[in-house]
Structure 1
Amino acid sequence: MTTPPPRLQPLLDQFDFARERLLRRLTGPVMDSGDGTDTRVEPLTDDEYFWEPVPGCWSVRRRADGPGPRATLLAGGGTWGRDAAAYPHPWPPPVTTLAWRLSHLTEMLALRADHTAGTRSATRERHPVHGDAAGAIAAFADGAAAWRQALLGADDAALDTVGYCGYPYGSDAEEPLLDIVWWVNQEVLHHGAEIALLRDLYRAGRPAV
């Protein structure tokens, strides 16, 4: 379908805003400061991607190096993985790097897209984790585009269908699709805000040039 149901459109608009704002915050050269003016932004570097604001952060790591502090496994496929642990998760929760947060968002979007309008076979174990900033940003953009495209195939009946999204790592099997769309939006919004704060802290902590 080409025209989304009217009650889906506001959520699509919100998603588009959050996605574009986060991508601009990561890549520059400018972003909307919130008042309609452009603020200069430097592209994310690998050093910043891996920066740990406090000791003991969870991050993404080479699989050969094993998981980080309090993690028991590296989620994902390939030569890189994301720090993770089986339930019960560590308490208090570890602080996570920008790399961890971006990988988490990308996996959620790509897998939910697949389990909504794809093969319904994608898994965390096979999902690639990126060891560089540019690759991670490109993967996020692809995952966000795939999720949005999956939603364009949803009609009013689909929005009310419990389990329409078969994503196996959340409550999707027990929720109507419209609730999942709302949930994904808040994930992008709140993790996007966390990533923006990490960028501010990294910039503020660098020596003046």
Structure 2
Amino acid sequence: MTTAPPRLRPLLAQFDFACERLLRRLTGPAMDSGDGTGTRVESLTDDEYFWAPVPGCWTVRRRADGPGPRATFLAGAGPWGRDAAPYPHPWPPPVTTLAWRLSHLAEMLALRADHTAGTRSATREAYPVSGAAAEAVAALRTGAAAWRRALLSADDTALDTVGYCAYPYGSDAEEPFLDIVWWVNQEVLHHGAEIALLRDLYRTHRQT
């Protein structure tokens, strides 16, 4: 972290913290509860990965089964796909499963990394969607590591460069890179919080 531009260091530290806490929340065997003490955590199972807390959830599905309610296609590559629809998206937004959120996060990190310090050619259509919990967690870990490497490749000038990240599914072409770094952090933080809540709800659901 010491080689990162000073303006990037706090955001990099925040990203590292958010990713570490989320991955620990998914894999266990323990995570920091926030006060320095460990809280026991069970690893994510396939049943929980696909659990739908309400009817009509968007999720990850076998491509042969087609998209779910209000979705018009399954995003991604491979035998599994993620419920999706072109803009404007359905309103109110559908509740999404843990599988959907993990897939979205992993794809976003991997593709933004590629469009910052990679081939700048990766697409959603070619990105594989995971059909198992362990694969999804591994994809998230890989995507987070790729994005972190992309951050470390940016110098101070890059942080102010509009379009430094050429990710084609957001406003990246119109934003200074530092703003994109901030945006990615809030994506990890808020989807991480959603995933943590789903884990709590699933645990309670299983006990009833």
Structure-to-structure mapping, 1:9-158, within 5 angstroms: 9-158=9-158
CA distance, structure 1, for counterparts of residue 2 and residue 82 of structure 2? 36
Tell me the CA shift for residue 207 of structure 1. 2.8
> Which amino acid in structure 1 is aligned with residue 207 of structure 2?
P
Q: CA deviation at 1:101?
A: 0.3
SS in 2 for 1:34: coil
Q: TM-score scaled by structure 1? A: 0.98
Q: Counterpart amino acid of 1:117?
A: A
- Give the corresponding residue for 1:3: 3
1:72-93, Cα deviation, whole Å (9 max, x unpaired): 0000011111000011211111
Distance (whole Å) between structure 2 residues aligned to residue 177 and residue 111 of structure 1? 15
Q: Which amino acid in 1 is paired with 2:69?
A: P
SS in 1 for 2:148: helix
Structure 2 CA distance for aligned equivalents of residues 165 and 158 of structure 1: 9
- The reply on whether 1:162 has 2:162 as its aligned counterpart is yes
Secondary structure in 2 aligned to 1:121?
Answer: coil
Gaps of 5+ in 1: none
Q: Secondary structure at the match of 1:124?
A: coil
3-state SS of paired residue (1:82):
strand
CA separation in 2, counterparts of 1:21 and 1:87?
Answer: 32
Gaps of 5+ in 2: none
Per-residue displacement from partner, 1:94-117 (whole Å, max 9, x unpaired)?
Answer: 000000000000010000000000
Question: Runs in 1 of length 4+ with deviation above 2 angstroms?
Answer: none
**SS of alignment partner, residue 206 of structure 1:** helix
CA RMSD of aligned residues (A): 1.1
CA spacing shift, 1:83–1:10, aligned 2, 3 Å = same
TM-score, L = length of structure 2: 0.98
Identity %: 85
Deviation at 1:2, TM superposition (A): 7.1
